[in-house]
Each structure stands twice: as structure tokens, then as C-alpha cells.
Structure 1
């Protein structure tokens, strides 16, 4: 719309400056009208002064964007929040063929991340935010948790970039926490002491299977008699999904055990489909029921402490758990000339090497 024509008496004035003469006293006053807001400002009676101020104001207005331009500026959207993106991410992640153990860990860890980053927009989460969170966990003594959450968070943003939810991955520039392993390795002497001391048949069977097969406690608990066929014990690892066939002829001279004999020992007077089972009823637990993981862990720890005291074996502040039989098995099989990588179900030799590391609990013989 074209501006209104100026009055003849205002043509000697700059734009937006107007004069008005008071009919009562004949004095002329000057006013300035803001072209954007429409507000009018009095500039007094001095014409030269009013002109200077009007020119300055007009220059300032030129530098300002017009009202229509301001209205037309695009609104910068923050995009999806971390919580909103996780709705889609969780659906896609959980569609994968995950083990029960992996799915449980995922849900626990993703919940931790959502509590901390949930309300933040994906595009606004910076490396400083991520580094501060992960470093805080490490300082609390949760270095392993910090590493696990970093890995998961990195994948969350990688998938977000692929979906167009964000443009950069703020986790890439962070460093994983250094986790110091504190748990003591299980020595062969301590294993033999526990084995000789315990009076629970199901714990003896579990220890025999663990030392011979090198499997995790979840897989040992899940072993069934029907899994033995054609001279092999068939195992599908709950954590990795690796499918193993372990020959029942496998033997460890260091403990004088072979798998075929151990499986036969599991067949006792109690009818059960599980290799490791309760032999006596206890409350709601009936004979033949599989041993729970909690009881397996707790009872092993009790027998460990009792055996260490009986045989005069010193334990550290972080004594070996049931899981350490997996490492001991790897070391014993390697010492007898077998490659423990296939037995443990590892995809890489580097992971097997971690289990073969005795962490200073064994003597190194030098010829």
C-alpha cells in the first residue's frame, strides 16, 4: 500500500516528521511517527533539532527489518525430544532377535538415559552434556555402566541421524571410561577346595559342568537331558545365541572329569529334565526343580568362603564368583592344548584372551 501523500506544509521535512501549529498561541510543534508501530513522539519546537532526530530515527528504521519481513521469518523448530525419539528407537531395537538377558539390560539402560536426557531436544544435546553425564558415572565408581551407556547412547544418535531426527552424533567425540577389573580370578586350588567341601550334590554337578563346558550360569541352569544326543551336548547360549555342540568325550585331566560321566552323575534318584536340579523339597521348591540363579550364586559364595577358611586360602576384597569358572575353564583347556574360543562361544580371539588372563593369580613357569 502506497504511503499517504504528505501535506504541502511538511514537504521540507524528512519522512515521518510532521509539524503542527497551535491555533491558540501560533507556536509550531514537531512530532515523529514510528512507521512500524504507529506511535507518535513529540520532538519540541526547534525545527533543526527535530529534523536531526527524525533523520536519525529513519536511519535506525532502515536497519530494522520491516514488520512483514519479521512475520515471514521461518520459525526454528527444536524437533523431537530425546523421549519422543526413544519411542520409535525402542520399537525398532526390540524387534531384533534379542536374548532375554540382553533385552532386560537394554530396558534398564534406556530408562536411565531417558531420565537424564528425556526432555532435551535431540538437536540440542551437545558433547558437553554427554561427557558430563558419563564422567559423573565413572567418578561414582560405575565405569562399566558408563561404558555400556555410552555405547547405547551412541547407537541412539546414529539411528537418529539415519532417521533425520538429528544431524550430529555428540557421543563420537567422548572417550569411554576406563574400567579397572577388581574381581579376583578363581584358582584351580580354590575350585578343588570348594568342590571337596560342599555337601550339596546340585552344586557339585553345576561346578563340574561349568569347569568342563566353560558356559555361563544361565546356560548351565538351562541344560536338559534331552540336549544330549549323538554324543554331543547341544547348547544355545542365552546371551549371544551361539549354537554349540560339545562332545561328551571332552575331558580335563587337571580335575579328572569328562562330560559323559558328569551327565550320568546328574541322573540321580530324583525325576527331572534338568541336569542341575534340587534333590530335596524345600518349601515351595520341589525336588527336580531347576536351581535358581540367585541360589546358585549365593550358595557358591558361601561354600567359597567356607572352603577358603578350611584350606587357609586368602581371599581378596573382591573374591571370585561362580562366573569365574568360565575363565578357569578357558585356562585349563588351553593348558591341555585345546582352543577355548569355540568352547566359550566367542566371535573374537581377543575376548577369549580376556578370559584366559589369570590377573596374577597363577604362577608362570619359566624353563
Structure 2
């Protein structure tokens, strides 16, 4: 290696030997820099002795074997133990569960981990490349699953971050990939359409479910889990399954636009059938016994059927992505906000930014200009 150009103060010194004066005590010290490794070695204050050692060290450098000789003589690097990505996913499951998130979050992530296992589980974790990940995410987005692509990218990125921390791999192939762009397509549910769907609902429990949804703004699974015993001391107590948020919703809560109040709707949920659940089957149909809670898929299916009948009667085209049952959460936010109530606490959001997304009508409603 060619030594760096000499400073003016080092002209009288052999190559690779340097002097430095300590500003605190005025003493001059000598150091030798190994031209191969770059390491610095202190040689003390004796100039003559330092020069002799530097000359000897430089001479030893000439006698050293070439880089090719040194590389060829080195023993082969020990083979890295193969570790399948599927093995790491089992470790990651445990790590994720220890984060103390909700049961629904653990369930959703568990399903996504299965998908990752099916796609990459057979590979050594160090053999999963950025190209592999990018193709997987891009193909998913091209199928119209951009939101799922974003969710899987986030999970994959976290999976590899934890793997790096545990020493299973040295790189995160997800880091440089781009998240899929999500275009919001689903139509918003208007108050007019809600009323039409409500009129088309053939089951009393579906009407009650819709009323509870628009009054409380809760998610489908939280509505299906509501029990009569949750109403006490003038409040309906809700523990959200997704976030764990604990809400006490006053039974006096009212929407003037629908002439509905929560207390009256809860009373309407009581019928001739004995049941713990607010939303329950009123008669036995096939495997669904009277008094049993309504399954989420049944709730979604019958709501969709009532929606389609209402749209046909109104003569409107809901497009390829009609509003789902979940859109009542957005409608609730907009109706309560219009009547002067802040829907953030009702929806259980931690940030106003998330509530604003639900309050956005996406052009489905008219804007009154004074």
C-alpha cells in the first residue's frame, strides 16, 4: 500500500511514522500506522527509537506475502447453518403474542403468517431476496388486493427486523421495497340509502343490528358480541375486540336524524326468545337455534341482500364496490358530527386523523352552502 503524502512536520521521518504534539503539555509523541490494517501503534517520545522501529516494521512489510497468498492460505469460512424461514415464523409467532395485542389482532396476523409460510417457508431465511418479496407484493396488488399487499409488506418487514435482532439473518430484504398504492373504491353509505335498506330488512334482528350500528358506531364483531348484561347504570359497556378500548355509551344517546335513541333500541332487542345477546335469532332455522347469536357472515350476507333490493327499488347503481355493513361506522361518525357530537371517542379512535377518514363522505353526500 502506498503511504499517504507526508505532512511538512513529518518530512524527516520514515514512511508510516507520524508525530503529534500534545497541546496540553507540549510533549511530542510518535505513532506508526500499519499500511495494511490501518491500525495505529504508539511508539512513545523517543524519536530515534521510534525511527528504528518504523524502519524495521516497513522492512517487515516488504517481506509479507502478497494479498493473493494470504487469501489462498486462509482456512475456508465455516458453513452457515441453514435455517428455514418457516422455522423463524414459529419464533416470530411467540414474539408477536408477547406484545399483548388483542385477540383479533393475533388472529389476523396468524392468518397472514400462514400465507407467508406457504410462500417463503421452504426457503432458507438468508435466501429470501428483495426480488422475491417485491414480486410477491406486486402480484398481490395486481390482483386488486393493494390493501392486503401493504399489510403483508408491513408484517414481512417486522418479521425480518426481529430476525435480524435475533441473529437469524443480516439483512432485511423488505426495507427497500415500495408499499402498494391504495385507491379507496368502496362507496359510502348515505342516510337515504340506510333508511331504504332498513325498510328492506326482512329480519327484526337485522333492523336492530343496523340501528345499534348507526347509533353506537361500533364494528360488526363488537355489535354481534353485545350482551343484555352489558347495559347497566344507564350505560352500554363495550370493550372493542380490535383495540381493547373500553367504552361506556350512554343509553340516552340519540340521533335526531333517525328519531332513535340507544335505550329504546336495546328494549326492542328483547323479544319472546330468551337470549343473552342483543342481536340473536328469534326462531330456529337449520343449525341456528332461537336465542343464538347471529354469525358475522350471516349478518353481512343478509345486509347485502337488503342493500341490493333497496338500490333496485331506488333505481340507483352502487357500482362494483357497494357499501358494506362496515360503512355504517362511517355513517354514524358523520351523523353524530352533524348533530354536534365529536365521534372520536364513540368510535374508539386514538387519533382525530383516523376519525376524519370516517367522516369523509367521499362525495356521496350533498354539501349545503349558505
Of residues 146, 161, 174 in structure 2, which corresponds to 1:158? 161
Of residues 63, 75, 90 in structure 1, which corresponds to 2:93? 90
Give the match for residue 317 of structure 2. 314
Paired residues, number: 306
CA distance in 2, matches of 1:75, 1:210: 62
CA shift, 1:76, in A, is 4.2
**Which has the higher mean CA deviation after the structures are superposed, 266-275 or 160-169?**
160-169
Q: Counterparts of 1:250-329 in structure 2 under 5 Å?
A: 250-329=253-332
**Which has the higher mean CA deviation after the structures are superposed, 144-153 or 84-93?**
84-93
- 2:308 counterpart SS class: helix
- 1:133 counterpart SS class: helix
**Structure 2 CA distance for partners of 1:266 and 1:146, relative to 1, 3 Å:** same
CA distance in 1, matches of 2:70, 2:220: 72
Aligned residues of 1:251 and 1:259 also touching (Cα < 8 A): yes
Q: Counterparts of 1:27-176 in structure 2 under 5 Å?
A: 69=73, 72-77=75-80, 79-176=82-179
Aligned residues of 1:266 and 1:276 also touching (Cα < 8 A): yes
Q: Counterparts of 1:6-25 in structure 2 under 5 Å?
A: none
CA shift, 1:79, in A, is 5.0
CA shift, 1:159, in A, is 0.8
CA shift, 1:266, in A, is 0.9
CA shift, 1:99, in A, is 3.4
**Which has the higher mean CA deviation after the structures are superposed, 111-120 or 244-253?**
111-120
CA distance in 2, matches of 1:167, 1:67: 24
Give the match for residue 247 of structure 2. 244
Question: Structure 1 residue 205 and structure 2 residue 205: aligned?
Answer: no
**Which has the higher mean CA deviation after the structures are superposed, 193-202 or 211-220?**
193-202
Give the match for residue 41 of structure 2. none
Q: After superposition, what is the alpha-carbon deviation per residue over 1:240-291, rounded to whole angstroms, capped at 9, x for unaligned? A: 1111111111111111101011111111221111111111121232221111
**Could you state the TM-score of these two structures normalised by the residue count of structure 2?**
0.78
Give the match for residue 34 of structure 2. none
**Could you state the TM-score of these two structures normalised by the residue count of structure 1?**
0.78
CA shift, 1:122, in A, is 2.9
Unmatched 5+ stretches in structure 2? 1-65
Aligned residues of 1:214 and 1:330 also touching (Cα < 8 A): yes
Give the match for residue 29 of structure 1. none
CA distance in 1, matches of 2:251, 2:155: 39
CA distance in 1, matches of 2:114, 2:313: 45
Q: After superposition, what is the alpha-carbon deviation per residue over 1:39-58, rounded to whole angstroms, capped at 9, x for unaligned? A: xxxxxxxxxxxxxxxxxxxx
**Structure 2 CA distance for partners of 1:126 and 1:230, relative to 1, 3 Å:** same
CA distance in 1, matches of 2:122, 2:69: 34
Aligned residues of 1:190 and 1:313 also touching (Cα < 8 A): no
Give the match for residue 54 of structure 1. none
Q: After superposition, what is the alpha-carbon deviation per residue over 1:52-99, rounded to whole angstroms, capped at 9, x for unaligned? A: xxxxxxxxxx997599935x2222416533222112111221344343
Question: Structure 1 residue 338 and structure 2 residue 319: aligned?
Answer: no
CA shift, 1:103, in A, is 2.4
Q: After superposition, what is the alpha-carbon deviation per residue over 1:151-205, rounded to whole angstroms, capped at 9, x for unaligned? A: 1001101111211222232222221101112211111001001112323110110
4+ aligned runs moved over 6 Å, structure 1: none
Unmatched 5+ stretches in structure 1? 1-61
CA distance in 2, matches of 1:66, 1:242: 64
CA distance in 1, matches of 2:119, 2:278: 44
Aligned residues of 1:79 and 1:165 also touching (Cα < 8 A): no
**Structure 2 CA distance for partners of 1:222 and 1:67, relative to 1, 3 Å:** closer
CA distance in 2, matches of 1:211, 1:361: 17
Of residues 221, 224, 238 in structure 2, which corresponds to 1:218? 221
Question: Structure 1 residue 182 and structure 2 residue 207: aligned?
Answer: no
RMSD: 2.2
